[in-house]
Amino acid sequence: MILAKRRKKRLSPEEYVAGILSGNRRILSKAITLVESTLSDDYTLAQEVIRLCLPHSGKSFRLGITGVPGVGKSTFIDAFGTQLTEMGHKVAVLAVDPSSTLSRGSILGDKTRMNRLSHNPHAFIRPSPTRGSLGGVAQKSRESMILCEAAGYDFLIVETVGVGQSEVTVHSMVDFFLLLMLPNAGDELQGIKKGVMEMADALIINKSDGAFLKKARISKVAYSQALRLFPRKTSGWRPPVLLVSALEETGLAKVTDTLFTYQKQMLANGNWIRRRENQATHWLKESIQYRLLSAFFSHPQVEQSLSQWEEAIRKQRSSPAQAADALIAQWFNASKR
Amino acid sequence: MILAKRRKKRLSPEEYVAGILSGNRRILSKAITLVESTLSDDYTLAQEVIRLCLPHSGKSFRLGITGVPGVGKSTFIDAFGTQLTEMGHKVAVLAVDPSSTLSRGSILGDKTRMNRLSHNPHAFIRPSPTRGSLGGVAQKSRESMILCEAAGYDFLIVETVGVGQSEVTVHSMVDFFLLLMLPNAGDELQGIKKGVMEMADALIINKSDGAFLKKARISKVAYSQALRLFPRKTSGWRPPVLLVSALEETGLAKVTDTLFTYQKQMLANGNWIRRRENQATHWLKESIQYRLLSAFFSHPQVEQSLSQWEEAIRKQRSSPAQAADALIAQWFNASKR
């Protein structure tokens, strides 16, 4: 009986969409939960909600932010996001954190780390409970972005940690990619992985305050030099290095300036729309790849045979191509029944 | 009649394998051509040859080499390979060049650029006629490697150009990855793409001779500093920067030293076998991905519908997930018939 009552409470796609478009935060939250669900009923409903929200999406500034743990991402987003709302923007904060299975949702896991923003009526913070493979997490984040945009948020912040591939993913879904660094250049690149620095549209040296200010200035020179070693971006944009103290709230206006200068330039030279269009094509290919490979690797027969084939390859009894062919044939036969 | 005669000349798998194992270069060449063929008859035969060669493979030193055009890769390989043969090694040179469709097989296209090595009885040079997607090229190169190893080549050199993703691919199939640079650090990173520098197990500044020697020494310092900015490799190996003149044949002994020191260390600490095992698992996943996605994207119905869905996504009428689901369903239905 209770179950039946609960079922009745389930909103229709139209109710979801009406709620989202009116800016109802509770319904937006519910819709994102729906998108993040792994139940197949929820999937169908979520896709319908997304389809109806699509025409109202796409008009925000999509900002990606990364940096190693401890660099002060939460403090930065709290201060920077607050500044944006004071300028009249509506700010939504999402996270792509495929590692959360291990780290137990370290990113945004604690809303209190964004104390001001979490109580700000013009901001929407979505903690990251999403678990699973990067492909799956990415798809869900992109869909959540669409819902937030339909709900009227015109500035999206997508946060991730420096775990390698997730930066590539976040880079592929944002208009501008920001890399937060600590004021200690000359040390190892602070765990920042392959090419992350090259993907950045701007570097921010956070914690540029007090005793660190001198170090930060030296780091700025070092990072500026390092950035010059990379090939020039096709858009013509030269990533700047900016000094910020999220704690003392210095340097934030310069960040906003940089972002909107970038947007103005890229809208003018056509790179804004080009990047978005490339991303759309990329998303389709990635969705196909993700959904096709998920179907394949989650098939019980494939799961059963895979480790045997891996062993055969390691022992040089089978080539990868042979193993792949055998597994694919097995999957096709099993699916046909 | 002529066709019938030609058909008779086709070797059996056992004949191929006997020829390869006896070190017959003509048959090795024929077998690689078979592996590179896109005909489905050839594919089946090639896979059988590979299966029979597998137990005789895996014992070589697999060296990957990259660097921008003009860095002197051919001259380096010619001099370095010759030195290896003088040490008693049998050297095979392969290329991974997915861009050859455009550049018309620039890599190794001209055997005369490796003048000495191409006339050396202890060396085998395979120009790269392979065209097509990187996934396909990679699979064929890995299979050619197996054949060369079965033919007794104990030192494989896999060459590629700096076109981005191909370095990642070559890195995933070799024991040691060498990045050739020009003596002009401080300029742009010479077109070297994302993370290539980070993947390198050693940097070689080629053309370190004559008037360039001073510049080379300055570059060495700059690159050494740049390398220190990257996170330490899990194997504990610190990539050195070496000065070489392939033309004057200076610095080559130091390269050999570095390679074999690396091998010794990695064999001792278990990272040699670990890297190979990770690569085997990676190859299987990649083969599955390549063969599954190839089957999908080459399907006539998918080809027909794909651009319509891309347009729908760009126009915000459909989400990538919806489009992916529709295309996959269409493919499955069409394949079942």
Please give the Cα distance from A135 to A128 (Å, whole number). Answer: 15
Sheet harboring B91-96: ordered strands across?
B123-125, B91-96, B155-160, B61-66, B176-181, B202-205, B241-243
Residue A63, helix vs strand vs coil: strand
User: A-chain residues within 8 Å CB-CB of B328?
Assistant: 288, 291-292, 295
Query: Which residue is listed with tokens 């590979």?
Result: B50
pLDDT reported for residue A177:
96
The whole-chain average pLDDT of chain A stands at 86
Could you tell me which residue, A334 or A144, shows the higher pLDDT? A144
**A284, B195: Cβ pair inside 8 Å?**
no
Q: Are B166 and B98 in contact (CB under 8 A)?
A: yes
d(CA B319, CA A284): 8
Residue ranges of chain B whose pLDDT lies below 70: 1-9, 97-112, 128-133, 162-165, 185-195, 336-337
CA atoms within 13 A on the CB side of A133: 12
- Which of these, B311, B293, B320, B277, lies nearest to A316 by C-alpha position? B277
Contact B284 A320 (CB under 8 A): yes
What's the pLDDT score for residue B202? 96
- pLDDT at residue A265 above 90? yes
B314 closest CB neighbour out of A277, A319, A321: A277
Instruction: Give the model's pLDDT for residue B133.
Output: 67
Cβ contacts of B246 within 8 Å, gap of 6 or more: B72, B75, B76, B78, B79, B80, B206, B207, B252
CA atoms within 13 A on the CB side of B314: 14
Backbone angles phi, psi at B96, to 5 degrees: -115, 110
CB-based burial label for B202 (10 Å; 0-12, 13-18, 19+): buried
The answer for residues whose C-beta is within 8 angstroms of residue B250's C-beta and 6 or more apart is B208, B209, B243, B244
Q: At what angle do helices A300-314 and A320-336 cross, to 10 degrees?
A: 170
Give me the pLDDT at residue B100, please: 43
Max CA distance (Å), chain A: 69
Residues 12-41 of B with CB under 8 A from A: none
In DSSP notation, B165-205 reads HHHHHHHTT-SEEEEEE-S-BTB--TT--TTHHHH-SEEEE
Q: What is the pLDDT of residues A275-298, one digit of tens each?
A: 998 998 888 998 899 889 988 998
pTM: 0.69
CB nearest to B284's CB, from A193, A293, A310: A310
Instruction: For residue B191, count other CB atoms closer than 10 A to its CB.
Output: 16
d(CA B257, CA A32): 57
Mean pLDDT score, A188-192: 51
Q: What average pLDDT does range A20-32 have in this prediction?
A: 96
Taking CB atoms and an 8 Å cutoff, what residues of chain B touch A40?
none
* Amino acid at position B166, single letter: S
Mark which residues 225-254 of A lie under 8 Å from B by CB.
226, 228-232
Contacts of A328-331 spanning 24+ positions with Cβ under 8 A? A328/A296, A328/B288, A328/B291, A328/B292, A328/B295, A330/A301, A330/A302, A330/A305, A331/A296, A331/A299, A331/A301, A331/A302
Q: Is A220 helix (H, G, I), strand (E, B) or coil?
A: helix
- Cβ atoms of B125 and B94 within 8 Å: the answer is no
For A173-213, the three-class secondary structure string (H helix, E strand, C coil) is CCCEEEEEECCCECECCCCCCCCHHHHCCEEEECCCCHHHH
Say if residues B215 and B315 touch (Cβ distance below 8 Å).
Answer: no
Residue B293, min C-alpha distance to chain A (Å): 7
- Return the structure tokens found at A181: 């660094």
pLDDT digits (tens, 9 = 90+) for B32-66: 999 988 888 898 899 999 999 999 999 999 999 99
Residue A300 above 70 pLDDT? yes
- Range list of β-strands (E), B174-327: 176-181, 202-205, 241-243
Q: What percentage of chain A carries pLDDT values higher than 90?
A: 52
B175 in Cβ contact with B81 (< 8 Å): no
Q: Kind of pairing, strands B176-181 and B202-205?
A: parallel
pLDDT category at A194 given cuts 50, 70, 90 is very low
What are the structural domains of chain B? 11-55 (1.20.5), 57-269 (3.40.50.300), 299-336 (no CATH)
Say what the pLDDT of residue B103 is. 39
Q: Between these two residues, A70 and B244, which has the higher pLDDT value?
A: B244
- A106 falls in which pLDDT band (50, 70, 90)? very low
The two tokens of residue A99 are 């590692």
> What is the model's pLDDT at position B30?
95
Contacts of A87 (CB under 8 A, 6+ apart): A256
Residue A112 pLDDT: 61
Q: What is the rounded average pLDDT of the residues A22-39?
A: 93
